[in-house]
Amino acid sequence: MGDQEVVRLGTRALLSRCPNFAVVAETANARECIAKVFEYRPDVVVLNVHEAGGQIDVCREITELVPETKVIIHSSLGRDDLLFEAIAAGAAGYILEQGPGDDLVRAIEAIGRGEALLDSALTQRLFARVREAKIKDDATVFAKLTDQELRVLAQVAEGRTNREIAQMLSLGEGTVRNYVSSILGKLHLTNRAEAAAYSIEHNLRDFLVQ
């Protein structure tokens, strides 16, 4: 008996003991899984994933063709790339096999209520990756601005007038006016209020040259 079959049988035994669940089918391969989903239209499918690729494609196919069925990835792999692939494929949950069996039960119950659930061991890593991606996106937003334009924009975000900005940065008022016009053009904004809101939304202060 292979490792995957052991996991599958163990999962079925675990879920069969839960009075709120009815295990309608189990399968050993992707094509059979898709066929059973179309036949039974289950509320939740638990996919045991041991490698990237085919099984994630099964998740994607199920969520696209039978959207009312939710997919939980139950995997021995805690890799970030596989986690993101699963989320992109429409998985409603991702639970590690190494965790207690109750984790899978709670995940199925939560997803049955319309929630989404990630293994607690993966959640912080996911948030860290999202934050990292957000910082990179914000940096790209301001890439077209010069250092001086960033400083001017920071003052605009504080609600200061051109005259006040000119005094603070030792510039002529006309020069500040030109900077503001250039900033609006580069960021495709129409006025100072939009520029101020845009600066806050994209965390301008993180990119100011000290």
Residues 105 and 148 in one domain: no
CA distance 167 to 180: 15
- Domain end position, chosen among 85, 104, 126: 126
Residue 191 lies in a domain: yes
Domain-located, residue 107: yes
Let me know whether 176 and 107 are in one domain: no
The mean predicted confidence, pLDDT, of the chain is 80
Q: Given this model, what pLDDT does residue 210 score?
A: 40
Is the pLDDT score of 3 beyond 70? no
pLDDT digits (tens, 9 = 90+) for 15-63: 878 788 888 888 878 888 889 999 999 999 988 876 555 678 888 899 9
Assess whether 93 and 12 both reside in one domain: yes
Q: What is the pTM of this model?
A: 0.56
> Do 67 and 150 have their domain in common?
no
**74 and 106 assigned to the same domain:** yes
- What's the 3-state SS for the chain? CCHHHHHHHHHHHHHHCCCCCCCCCCCCCHHHHHHHHHHHCCCEEEEEECCCCHHHHHHHHHHHHCCCCEEEEEECCCCHHHHHHHHHCCCCEEEECCCCHHHHHHHHHHHHCCCCEECHHHHHHHHHHHHHHHHHHHHHHCCCCCHHHHHHHHHHHCCCCHHHHHHHHCCCHHHHHHHHHHHHHHHCCCCHHHHHHHHHHCCHHHHCCC
Q: What is the pLDDT of residue 54?
A: 62
The reported pLDDT for the residue numbered 2 is 46
Single residue among 126, 151, 173 that ends a domain in this structure:
126
Q: The domain spanning residue 199 has which CATH number?
A: 1.10.10.10
Q: Are residues 11 and 96 in the same domain?
A: yes
Range(s) of the domain holding residue 17: 3-126
Q: Is residue 131 part of a domain?
A: no
Kindly state the average pLDDT of the residues 182-187.
Answer: 91
What is the model's pLDDT at position 88? Answer: 81
| Tokens standing for residue 17 | 């003991």
Same domain, 85 and 146: no
Pair (168, 119) in one structural domain: no
User: Are 27 and 95 within one domain?
Assistant: yes
What's the total number of domains in the chain? 2
- The CA-CA-CA angle for residues 28, 30, 35, to 5°, reads 95
- Where is the domain boundary, 95, 126, 157? 126
Average of pLDDT values for 66-90?
82
- Reported confidence tier of residue 77, pLDDT bands at 50, 70, 90: confident
The tens digit of pLDDT for each residue in 98-145 reads 766 677 888 888 887 887 777 666 656 665 665 565 656 666 778 888
Q: Are 79 and 141 in a shared domain?
A: no
Residues 112 and 141 in one domain: no
Please answer whether residues 38 and 67 qualify as being in contact, where contact means their C-beta atoms are separated by less than 8 angstroms.
Answer: no
